[in-house]
């Protein structure tokens, strides 16, 4: 527990077995309505940490509203255990539509198979997906907020900044007077927010890079990220993140070389910052994230005209475009 600014607190919520280690939940205390930004996984360790944090701060759950930066289970999952009848839940529209639509797990599984994820590992990968295990089936009543909308909590007046990329509708909160950005997983230090793509009609990496540019131009003194340490120099970190993706894109082009490959094959040849000797030893959930990340980079290159996508029968393969457009 840490008071970052008067009545703005960071509560550390443990994420057992996750390389992210913990989630930063931000709590704004007010004599009127309190606001909690992001919550943790829907599991006991997270609930215990949240409850003890709120007790220390003497926060009355009956007078508390919620803002969730994006739908990933480590941010959204615990919400179901915290809301009361009087709570308002603020969230973005694209992801509200996603959680209200049924059958998206099934569509993701079919899409992964099409991209070369082996049939025998698919179901197991889904079973061990944290969103499956510690998410929540329950859908709250949601107040949709859009880019530029305001939320007032105590002495803080936040403006929503839509930053799609890490997820479809990811949204940050900006406090212009204090020059604070509550960033969710848009900008993290030490770790690179993972950018996955699970549909042919999206280009999340392009969205992400555009969202980085958008935030880069803002006047920010302090970034409050969803995981790890607070960030003071957002421009330097954004430059590193952009460089990282640039390197990745070049790596994917090199891996494709002369061959036609599925996204799964490309993922197995990319370099990953994991404690495993070989791709075969990767935990299944990590193979899943890696494949989603490979697809995001492949789609970006495809839209740029640098690679070609071929849908043959049940399988999608990528190859280099030998005559790329001149730009
Ligand atoms: Zn997260």
93-114 pLDDT, tens digit per residue, is 999 988 888 777 788 889 999 9
Q: What is residue 136's predicted lDDT score, i.e. its pLDDT?
A: 65
Whole-number Cα distances in Å, 247 to 67, 241, 255, 274, 293: 34, 10, 12, 18, 14
- Does the pLDDT value for residue 256 go beyond 70? yes
**How many whole angstroms from 186 Cα to the centroid of ligand 1?**
9
Tens digit of each residue's pLDDT (9 = 90 or more) over 260-315:
999 999 999 999 987 788 898 888 888 999 999 999 999 999 999 999 999 998 89
Q: How far is the CA of 270 from the centre of ligand 1 (A)?
A: 23
Distance (angstroms) between ligand 1 centre and the Cα of 23 equals 7
CA dist 76 and 91 (Å) reads: 10
Categorize the per-residue pLDDT at 83 as very low, low, confident or very high, splitting at 50, 70 and 90.
very high
pLDDT at position 252, please?
A: 97
Specify the pLDDT at position 277: 84
Q: What pTM, to 2 d.p., does this model score? A: 0.94
Q: What is the pLDDT of residue 219?
A: 98
How much distance in Å is there from the Cα of 71 to the middle of ligand 1?
Answer: 9
284 CA to middle of ligand 1, Å? 19
Q: What distance in angstroms lies between residue 185's CA and the mean position of ligand 1's atoms?
A: 5
pLDDT confidence of residue 104? 77
More confident residue, 247 or 132: 247
Condensed to tens digits (0 to 9), the pLDDT of residues 19-53 reads 889 999 999 999 999 999 999 999 999 999 999 99
Measured from the Cβ of residue 159, the count of other Cβ atoms closer than 10 Å reads: 15
Portion of the chain with pLDDT greater than 70, in percent: 97
Name the nearest CA neighbour of 172 among 225, 236, 232.
225
pLDDT of the residue at 135: 66
Alpha helices in the chain (DSSP H): 44-56, 73-76, 79-82, 93-100, 104-114, 119-127, 130-133, 204-216, 234-256, 263-269, 284-303
The confidence score (pLDDT) of residue 129 equals 73
pLDDT beyond 90 at 194: yes
d(CA 253, CA 237) in angstroms, rounded, equals 25
Cα of 269 from ligand 1 centre, angstroms: 25
Residue 102 has a pLDDT of: 74
Q: What is the mean pLDDT of residues 153-173?
A: 97
- 3-class DSSP assignment, residue 231: strand
pLDDT at 316: 97
Taking residues 78-83, report their average pLDDT.
Answer: 94
Ligand 1 centroid – CA 193 distance (Å): 8
Cα 184 to middle of ligand 1, angstroms: 7
Rounded Cα gap, residues 1 and 24, in angstroms:
10
């Amino acid at each position: 527990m840490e008071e970052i600014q008067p009545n703005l607190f960071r509560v550390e919520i443990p994420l057992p077995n996750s390389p992210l280690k913990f989630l930063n939940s931000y709590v704004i205390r007010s004599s009127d309505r309190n606001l909690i930004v992001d919550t943790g996984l829907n599991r006991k360790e997270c609930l215990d940490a949240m409850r003890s944090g709120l007790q220390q701060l003497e926060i009355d759950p009956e007078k508390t509203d919620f803002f969730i930066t994006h739908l990933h289970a480590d941010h959204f999952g615990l919400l179901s255990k915290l809301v009361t009848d009087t709570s308002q839940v603020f969230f973005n529209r694209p992801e509200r539509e996603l959680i209200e639509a049924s059958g998206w797990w099934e569509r993701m599984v079919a899409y992964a198979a099409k991209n070369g994820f082996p049939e025998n590992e698919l179901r197991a990968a889904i079973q061990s997906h944290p969103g499956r295990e510690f998410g929540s089936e329950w859908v709250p009543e949601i107040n949709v907020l859009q880019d530029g909308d305001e939320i007032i909590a105590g002495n803080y007046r936040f403006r929503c900044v839509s930053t799609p990329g890490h997820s479809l509708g990811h949204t940050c909160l900006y406090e212009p007077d204090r020059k604070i950005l509550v960033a969710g997983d848009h900008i993290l230090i030490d770790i690179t927010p993972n950018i996955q793509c699970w549909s042919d009609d999206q280009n999340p990496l392009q969205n992400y890079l555009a969202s980085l540019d958008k935030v880069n131009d803002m006047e920010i003194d302090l970034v409050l990220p969803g995981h790890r340490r607070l960030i003071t120099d957002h421009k330097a970190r954004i430059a590193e993140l952009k460089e990282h993706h640039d390197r990745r894109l070049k790596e994917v082009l090199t891996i494709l070389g002369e061959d036609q490959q599925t996204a799964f094959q490309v993922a197995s040849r990319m370099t990953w910052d994991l404690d495993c000797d070989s791709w075969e030893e990767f935990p299944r959930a990590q193979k899943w994230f890696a494949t989603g990340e490979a697809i995001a980079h492949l789609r970006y290159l495809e839209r740029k005209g640098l690679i070609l996508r071929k849908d043959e029968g049940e399988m999608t393969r990528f190859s280099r475009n030998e005559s790329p457009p001149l730009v």
